[in-house]
């Protein structure tokens, strides 16, 4: 069961179903939601979202009464802009959940925004949740894996990614590889840090 303040990570190749699951998780979230989408994809454009393109703290603060804010950077490589958004989210405590699509751009494995790391590590104490979605686990900040109570793994054909996420999550490499090999189309694995179990789940409808 997913609770307020939880960290959630969804990984898998493009077209595997991960974005569909991430959107459904976000859609069912009852509290305030901040969406960070560097790719400006239609999949994150939830109905009723207040859209901000390239704005900073002032624009976010002006929209603080909205239940859903969808923020798209003017420059996808501007790590300072992501840092500003995460700093605002952490201190303003606006969102119950931050949903990040293309997490390898926003929270890369190396040199990512310091405020993003602060949000991941310390935000749980403030009951601030986080949902991240990306194709390749090796490209994202390790805290996204290490801090995740809920890990959803779709088809991930690259062996390096399989080894990386198995080691970071504390899952048997052999077990993960075997279970991924047996996945049907749009099937996925769920790993809970709370009970440390990896289970295969029915294919998601896309």
- What is the chain's pLDDT, residue by residue, as a tens digit (206 residues)? 678 899 999 999 999 999 999 999 999 998 999 999 999 999 999 999 999 999 999 999 999 999 999 999 999 999 999 999 999 999 988 878 999 999 999 999 999 999 999 999 999 889 999 999 999 999 999 999 998 999 999 999 999 999 999 999 999 999 999 999 999 999 999 999 888 889 999 999 88
What residues make up the domain containing 42?
A: 1-9+29-130
Q: What are the residues facing 101 on neighbouring strands? A: 133
CA atoms of 206 and 189, how far apart (whole Å): 16
Q: Please check whether residue 50 lies inside any domain of the structure.
A: yes
Q: What are the residues facing 9 on neighbouring strands? A: 132, 151
Q: Are residues 163 and 206 in the same domain?
A: yes
On whether the CB atoms of residues 101 and 46 are closer than 8 A, the answer is no
Q: Please check whether residue 136 lies inside any domain of the structure.
A: no
Label residues 30-54 b or e (16+ Cβ within 10 Å = b). eebbbbbbbeeeeebebeebbebee
C-alpha count within 13 angstroms, C-beta hemisphere, residue 16: 23
Q: Are residues 40 and 116 in the same domain?
A: yes
Q: Would you state the structure tokens that stand for residue 44, as one six-digit string?
A: 């994150």
Q: What are the residues facing 68 on neighbouring strands? A: 33
Q: Would you state the structure tokens that stand for residue 102, as one six-digit string?
A: 């293309």
| Domains identified in the chain, total number | 2
Helices (H), the chain: 18-27, 57-62, 79-92, 103-106, 114-122, 142-146, 159-169, 173-181
pTM recorded for the entire structure? 0.95
Q: Are residues 101 and 153 in the same domain?
A: no
Q: Would you state the structure tokens that stand for residue 128, as one six-digit string?
A: 């601030």
Q: Are residues 4 and 106 in the same domain?
A: yes
Q: Are residues 37 and 100 in the same domain?
A: yes
Q: Are residues 34 and 101 in the same domain?
A: yes
Residue with the two structure tokens 């390898």 = 104
Q: Are residues 96 and 2 in the same domain?
A: yes
Q: Please check whether residue 118 lies inside any domain of the structure.
A: yes
């Amino acid at each position: 069961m997913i609770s307020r303040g939880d960290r959630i990570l969804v990984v898998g190749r493009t077209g595997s179903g991960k974005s569909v699951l991430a959107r459904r998780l976000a859609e069912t979230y009852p509290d305030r939601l901040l969406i960070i989408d560097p790719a400006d994809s239609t999949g994150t454009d939830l109905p009723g979202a207040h859209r901000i393109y390239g704005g900073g703290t002032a624009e976010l603060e002006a929209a603080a009464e909205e239940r859903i804010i969808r923020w798209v950077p003017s420059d996808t490589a501007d790590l300072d802009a992501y840092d500003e958004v995460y700093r605002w989210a952490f201190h303003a405590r606006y969102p119950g959940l931050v949903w990040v699509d293309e997490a390898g751009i926003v929270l890369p494995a190396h040199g990512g925004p310091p405020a993003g790391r602060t949000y991941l590590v310390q935000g749980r104490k403030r009951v601030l949740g986080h949902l991240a979605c990306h194709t390749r686990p090796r490209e994202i900040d390790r805290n996204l894996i290490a801090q995740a109570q809920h890990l959803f793994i779709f088809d991930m054909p690259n062996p390096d990614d399989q080894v990386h996420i198995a080691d970071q999550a504390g899952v048997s490499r052999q077990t993960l590889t075997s279970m991924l090999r047996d996945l049907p189309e749009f099937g996925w694995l769920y790993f809970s840090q709370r009970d440390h179990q990896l289970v295969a789940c029915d294919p998601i409808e896309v």
